[in-house]
Structures are given as structure tokens and as C-alpha cells.
Amino acid sequence: MKVLVIGGGGREHALAWRLRQTEGVSQVFVAPGNAGTARDPQLTNLDITDKSALRTWAQTNGIALTVVGPEAPLAAGVVDEFRAHGLAIFGPTKAAAQLESSKAFSKAFMERHGIPTASYQTFTDAAKAHAYVDAQGAPIVVKADGLAAGKGVVVAMTLDEAHAAIDFMLLDNALGVAHNEGGARVVIEEFLQGEEASFIVLCDGEHALALATSQDHKRLLDADQGPNTGGMGAYSPAPVVTPAVHQRAMDEVILPTLRGMKADGIPYTGFLYAGLMITPDGQVKTLEFNCRMGDPETQPIMMRLRSNLAQVLLAATRGELDRATVEWDPRVALGVVLAAAGYPLNPRKGDAITGLPADEADRMVFHAGTTAAGEGAIQVSGGRVLCVTALADSVADARRRAYEVVDAIHFDGVQCRRDIGYRAL
């Protein structure tokens, strides 16, 4: 079986790495891939990003399964394109991907279908947004309504921060948000107290199969300080997701979402990522939906996966997830992200990367923002550059093993947190 993975980040490197180890998979192509997938002799990069050209290539080359990694191709309708030509592809349609591509759509959907979430209002007018923030007070959360590569959220602890975020998103658009129809909008939400967790499931329109739990670290700096990022590290499993919390997440968030999407005429297939807030009394509220696996959560999750990923995803494309199961390595996996100088707002490109180790079965360096520079050299090409991920019997050991590799890698201006996994310790 030939498999195509669409995307070029760390999530896609991890998915392709796991798929190439899967029984029955003969070749894995990554479009467009990165320097990490290029240096793996069992993966093949494909320099195609246009959805129609990708579909034609998949037809011509006998691709049995396509897996979509990032949000942008989903929002552009790559799943619709492939399905219209009878190709098996795992991901949501363009309409279903609005759960991520439009915060306003997502919040209205949750309100309509009784899915627990923070109270909110949506604004296109900056003056009205400022007045609302003044009336509500701080802390408060300001979100850009559009794709912003995981960086379109500001948790404002003061009114000044909230007002700056409104101008930043509605007037300046310094994040480069891909605005939805109608122009720039912000969603302003109440601030929720508790501990965040990433709850990721596979969906086939009717059924959901939960993946291993994980927890991300969104802020740039140690102790959850600094600006929000796409994610600076993650670990799996997440102790905060107890069996009771897991059941509540399925019963109150995931299954009502699948029923609601079907009732609205847009059945949901693909990865569904619910960012959850676990309150001190064990309640579950939905912070956001993503229509793909998280990055960097994918890296530790894929390290722990023991099942045949290709067969599970094929079952999902056929509406047969209720017959599928997944098995997990009982050990802990932990990943540490190395980011470029200037990330998240102005990441610097072109810095040379040295000290990259050989791959190990239980310790991997997954590439994200990297590019080959000739004669074996690798350079920084994006904000989050690498994710060093290790497996071990405990969080402490997995962290120690990951940071051993982190400390051997160098590029100018490298940024990384030193406290990944601290909540589990």
C-alpha cells in the first residue's frame, strides 16, 4: 500500500515516520515534507502543494490512503477534491473544517448543540469590542476568527493586554490571520480556570475512537509565561485526564459534536482535537476545536502508538471505526520543541542547525521548520524548528532523555522551554 501524507511540519514527520513502520505499507510520500523527512531513506518528499495537482498525482501513482496533517489544506477543501474522484482520504471536508477555521462558527455550533464552553461574544467593530472588554473586565480571552497557525489567542490578564490584542487582530493583523468571509473578526471569551488537556479522537462521521491523552505547553517561556505559541512541548499520557474526565469528554464534548455535525448536514470525519479545560471540580469545558492532530502532541502520541495506523485510518474512511482498536506503549513520551530566534511573531530563517543525532526507536528528532541547504547541511526555515521526543518509564526519565539531545543541538538564537512535563511531576 502506498500512503501520502499532506503537510511539512513536525506533526507530518511523526505521522509519516509511524506509517512507514506499519505492516502493509510499501511507500510513504510527504507533500511537501521537510529536511527531516528528506533525510529518512524510507520517506519520499513530493514538491506539490496544489490540491488538484496532488489529487491527480495520487490517482496516477496508485495512492491507497491520504492523510491530511495541517489545517490550511483542509480549509481549502483538499478532502472534497480527493473524495470527488473516489480517493480514500482521512480528514474533514471544507464545511466540517469550519470547526477550526472559524472560531465564530465553532462557538455558535457549541452553543446550539449544548456543548460546554466559555461564554463569549463576536465582534467585527473594534470600538464595540473595546467597550465589551471594559464591561467584562480582565482576565479575558481574545481570539482571532481565522487560521493563525495556533497563535491567534491572547489570554489577557489585564485590560491593557486585552485592548492591545483587539487592535492587534482587528486592525493590525500582525499575526497574518487568514480572515473568513466578512473580514476580520474576534471572539472574546470568559477566562476559565483549571488545567488544559488535548483530547484527540479519530472520527468517521458516526463513531469516535480516542487516541492517547496528551498535554501541550502553549506559552513560549517556562512556568507558562510569555506569548502563546503553536506549542513548545507536550507529553503523553496526561494524568489530568482521569478515567472520569475521559468519559465526560466523550459524553459531553466528542459524541455531541459528531451528532451535531451530522444533524447540521456536515458529518465530521478525520482527526478531531478538543482543547479542554479541566476545572478544579472535574468539570470539562471546550476551549477550542482543531480539525487535525495537535503539533507537538502528535510526536509523543505517535511514539507510543503500537497499532497499525494505516489500517485504522482506512477503517475510518470506510465508516468502520466501531470495529477498530488502538494499542499503546505503556511508557511516557515527552517532546521538547526548539524554536527559531524571534518566534512566535518574527521567526528568523537561514540559521544553520548542527548536532542532530541519528534516529533511535525510542528517541527521535522530528523536524518542522527545516530545509536542506546542500551537502548535508540543514537550515532553519520556520518558527518551530524541531521536536526532540523520547520514550521512558516515567515523565522524569523521558524529560531527561529528551533534554540530553536538546542540549547537543545548536542553531543561533534557539529558544526552548526547560520545564516541559512539569505539571505531571
Q: What is the pLDDT of residue 319?
A: 97
Burial of 52 (0-12, 13-18, 19+ CB in 10 A): exposed
Position 171 scores a pLDDT of: 78
Q: Are 168 and 239 in contact (CB under 8 A)?
A: no
Copy the grid coordinates of residue 34.
Answer: 521537510
Q: What is the pLDDT along the chain (425 residues), one digit of tens a residue?
A: 999 999 999 999 999 999 999 999 999 999 999 999 999 999 999 999 999 999 999 999 999 999 999 999 999 999 999 999 999 999 999 999 999 988 889 999 999 999 999 999 999 899 999 999 999 999 999 988 876 655 578 889 999 999 999 988 887 655 555 556 667 888 999 999 999 899 999 999 999 999 999 999 999 999 999 988 999 999 999 999 999 999 999 999 999 999 999 999 999 999 999 999 998 888 999 999 999 999 999 999 999 999 999 999 999 999 999 999 999 999 999 999 999 999 998 999 999 999 999 999 999 999 999 999 988 899 999 999 999 999 999 999 999 999 999 999 999 999 999 999 998 98
pLDDT score at 182 = 60
> How much is the pLDDT for 102?
84
Residue among 210, 245, 244, 215 at smallest CA distance from 328: 210
Report helix, strand or coil for 403: helix
Q: What confidence score (pLDDT) does residue 184 get?
A: 81
Rounded to an integer, what distance in angstroms lies between the CA atom of residue 374 and that of residue 388? Answer: 23
Which residue in 243, 262, 239, 250 sits closest to 199, CA to CA? 250
Strands 363-367 and 384-392: antiparallel
Please report the pLDDT score of residue 94 as a whole number. Answer: 96
Provide the grid cell at 102.
472559524
Q: Which of 327, 338, 329 is nearest to 304 (CA)?
A: 329
pLDDT for residue 149: 57
pLDDT of amino acid 104? 85
Is the previous residue joined to 32 through a cis bond, with omega within 30 degrees of 0?
A: yes
* 23: exposed, middle or buried (Cβ count in 10 Å: 0-12, 13-18, 19+): exposed
CA separation, residue 9 to residues 90, 234, 285, 333 (Å):
17, 15, 29, 19
Q: What is the pLDDT of residue 179?
A: 58
Measure CA of the first residue to CA of the last residue in the chain; give whole Å: 42
Measured CA to CA, the distance from residue 156 to residue 163 in angstroms comes to 9
